[in-house]
Each structure stands twice: as C-alpha cells, then as structure tokens.
Amino acid sequence: MTTAASAAAAQAQTADNGGERVIRVALAERSYDIRIGRGLLDGLGGAVARLAPGANVAIITDENVNRVLGERARASLTQAGQRVETIVLPPGEATKSWDHVGQVCEALLAAKIERGDIVVALGGGVIGDLAGFAAAIVRRGVRFVQVPTSLLAQVDSSVGGKTGINSPHGKNLIGAFYQPSLVLADTAVLDTLPVRELRAGYAEVAKYGLIDQPEFFAWCEQNWQGVYDGTDAREYAVATSCAAKAAVVARDETETGDRALLNLGHTFGHALERLTHYDSARLVHGEGVAIGMAQAFRFSARLGLCAPADADRVARHLAAAGLPVHPAQIPGGVGTVDEVLEAMAQDKKVSRGALTFILARGIGQSFIAKNMPRDDVRAFLEADMAGGPGV
C-alpha cells in the first residue's frame, strides 16, 4: 500500500500558477477537486459559478465562523451573481443532532434550494458533517461544497464523504456517504485558530505518515512548527494529508476494506472521548487520536510487531508538537481498564463484539488487525495505564 498511496499523493499534488494545490478525489462520476491555498475563500463565488452556473446558494455555518468569515463568503458569492441565504447554527458538537438536521433541511426547502443548487458548508467538522448530511437527504441529494475552516476539517473530515449526526447511542451513528462537489481549503483562515485547535488537527496530519508514508512522518518531525506558523509547510501538510486520504477513499469509499486504516488511533481515541463524555475542556478528538496513535504503537511494540524505538519515536514527535500521548495526561483521568474496554466495545466499527485495531510493524507500516483477543488488549491496557507518558 505504501507505494500506491505515495504515488497517488505525488501525482495528485499539482501546484497551479497561483501557488494553489489541487488534489483530485477519483470516484468516477462522483469525483471532485480539493483546492488548497491561502485566500481561496474570496474565490468561492467564482468556483461555485463554474460548478453550477446560475445556481442559488445556501451557506450553512455556525455563529463563530459566521462572525469571522460569513461576510467574505457572502460577498464573494454575491459578486459572482449568486442569490445567497445563510443558515446559522450554534457552535459545538451538540449541533450534530436530529433536531438541527431537521431544522437545516426545512430551512433549505424554505430557501427553495433545488437539485441543481449548491449548499456551502462553511465551518469545521461539525458544520461539514451536518451540512453534508442535510445536502445528502434534501430532495434526495443536492450538491454541496465544503469550505473547511479548521485544520482538522481541512485534512480529514471535509474529505471522503462521511457525513452525519450523533445519536444518543453514539457519535456519527446516523448519516450518509455523500461526496462534496468541491472542497475549498483556505489555509489562511487557520491563522487565527487557537493553538489547541491547530494541535488537534495536526494529530491527523501526522497520522497519514504513520499509516503508510514514513518519509512524510520524517518530514513532519522536521516541519511541524511551520504547519502551526503558516509557512508553506502548512499547504504541503494539508495537501499531502488530503492526497493520502483521497487515495484511500478512492480505493474503498464505503469502508468495507482498507479505509479502516484511517482509524489508526481511533479505537483507543474514541473510547477515551466516550469516557470523558465528549467534554472538550478535557479532551478534543485530535487529542484522543494522538493518545490513541501512541497507544497503538506501544501495543504493537508489546505484541512484538514493531520495534519499541518506533513507539518511542511516535510519542516523542506528538509530544513535541504539543499533543498528549497517554491517558494519564487527560485532566481528571479516564477510569479503570475495565471501563476503557467497555467503552471500546461500544465503537461503531465493532462487529459481533470483536475488537478491530489498526496496528503497525513500524512507522508507516500500519495494518488492520481484526478479532484482537480481549485478553491481549486487557494485558496491554493494564501495563500501559499503570505507566505514564514516558516522554
């Protein structure tokens, strides 16, 4: 897989004359471009006009993003001659609910959005997931454009077509695979993000290196500060991440096979999020993934699959980039080994009670390990949770 994904990544990253990078997600008639560059938000109107001449547009966003970026988005669309309505939602994970998706769908119908029109998701992962799901089910599908405004959304959630809301039974349990028609990632809008949000997004960047691109992980070790600071390293990191995800999604759109590799760190991470009751003051998703990736490598090392030095290297880099790498670093802790095991068993990807992990034979050599014996998991957790970050 390493070769194929790296080749796809290399091939996909074509810088155009404006310094913009374009990644093509190859999904036959559902193919689309991810455009990455500074200042792209001001080109939103032109991009939508090329996609759907004469279309009406509904922007779905949250109060915070609307305050900072809403006017610019509307100005660009209006200047390109589009009629624009804006649907503004409360910020935060609680917005990914039945109530809000219903409200958004009815608002889109009230705005007379038709099949040929365009829904713009302007925001982070919550807005992208919710707006994408609403676009998927209004009139059985209207086109939508992702304008991700967080690093996490630019490198992960805006790419690949997973849309949805949360259920009382768990996160993202209601939704659809529904691909956008375009992703416009303006890397300049990340300049004003709080550093904790940048870090959380960065965990997913490093993940692509750990999955199957050891040379990209090495690049990350050298260049992570530039990603935070907004040098050219940021566009390179976003583009490489998108290309890696696009290659996986193109091979396995609905996660029947190796799309599951993208869940590296997520079996542990989701359990930690569940145990902290999705309280973002204690743990955000990217932090859970960082701890989970460090754990996945320590677990792999314990099973004799990879060198302990590789697990150390993973933890060292994530810690250097400001991310937690051990459950003990979560304010308030996460409880007992039994509680972690129980939280893992509730994962959406659990099938007939069997636990699936993404493990690794080294940096960039991850693989899917199905039906992990529960005793092995327990033994690892007991040893790991008795220890500490070690970095």
Q: Which residues of this chain interact with a copy of itself, rule CB under 8 A? A: 98, 102, 105-106, 109-110, 114-116, 133, 136-141, 162, 164, 167-170, 173-177, 254, 348, 350-352
133 or 357: CB nearest a copy of itself: 133
Helix 214-229 and helix 2-12: axis angle, to 10°?
40
Residue 149 annotated as part of some ligand binding site: yes
Active site includes 96? no
Catalytic residue among 204, 235, 253, 287: 204
Tell how far CA 282 is from the center of its chain. 19
Strand partners, 158: none
Clarify whether 270 is annotated catalytic.
yes
Supply the minimum distance, in Å, between the C-beta of residue 177 and a copy of itself. Answer: 6
Q: Which is nearer to a copy of itself, 10 or 109 (CB)?
A: 109
Is 266 catalytic? The answer is yes
| Closer of 141 and 387 to a copy of itself (Cβ) | 141
Q: Does the annotation place 248 within a ligand binding site?
A: no
Catalytic residue among 253, 263, 313, 326: 263
- Residue 259 annotated to the active site: yes
Is 266 flagged in the annotation as binding?
A: yes
The backbone torsions φ and ψ at residue 356, rounded to the nearest 5 degrees and listed phi first, read -110, 135
Is the Cβ of residue 18 or residue 170 nearer to a copy of itself in the bound state?
170
Active site residue 349: no
**Residue 285 annotated in ligand binding:** yes
Please choose, from the candidates 205, 241, 210, the residue with its C-alpha nearest in 3D space to the C-alpha of residue 322: 205
Does 112 show up as a binding residue in the annotation?
no
Please state the closest distance from residue 261 (CB atom) to a copy of itself, in A: 17
For residue 168, how many other CB atoms are within 10 A of its CB?
7
Is 169 among the residues known to form the active site? no
Strand, helix or coil for residue 256: coil
Strand residue runs (E) in 307-386: 355-360, 366-372
User: Of 123, 87, 89, which is closest to residue 108 (Cα–Cα)?
Assistant: 87
* Residue 201: closest CA among 224, 231, 177, 171: 224
Q: Which is nearer to a copy of itself, 55 or 363 (CB)?
A: 55
- Report residue 267 as tokens: 């079996």
Of 2 and 167, which has the nearer Cβ to a copy of itself? Answer: 167
Please pick, among 266, 274, 313, 326, the residue that the annotation labels catalytic.
Answer: 266
Q: CA torsion, points 37, 199, 347, 257, in degrees to nearest 10?
A: 40
Q: Which of 85, 93, 255, 342 is catalytic?
A: 255
Closest approach of a copy of itself to the CB of residue 220, in Å:
30
* Annotated binding residue 332: no
Measured CA to CA, the distance from residue 103 to residue 95 in angstroms comes to 11
204 annotated ligand binder = yes
At 219, which amino acid appears? W
Within 8 A by CB and 6+ apart from 288, the residues are 265, 268, 269, 270, 272, 273
Spatial separation of the C-alpha atoms in residues 209 and 223, rounded to whole Å: 13
Judge whether 295 and 208 are in contact, CB under 8 Å. Answer: no
Q: Which of 96, 100, 207, 270 is catalytic?
A: 270
Q: How far is CA 238 from CA 1, 12, 23, 232, 244, in A?
A: 20, 12, 10, 10, 10
Least Å distance between CB 346 and a copy of itself? 10
- State yes or no: 126 annotated in a binding site: yes
Active-site option among 140, 169, 277, 352: 140
Annotated binding-site residue numbers for Zn(2+): 204, 266, 285
Residues classed as catalytic? 140, 162, 204, 245, 255, 259, 263, 266, 270, 285
Annotated binding-site residue numbers for NAD(+): 125-129, 149-150, 162, 171
Annotated binding-site residue numbers: 125-129, 149-150, 162, 171, 204, 266, 285
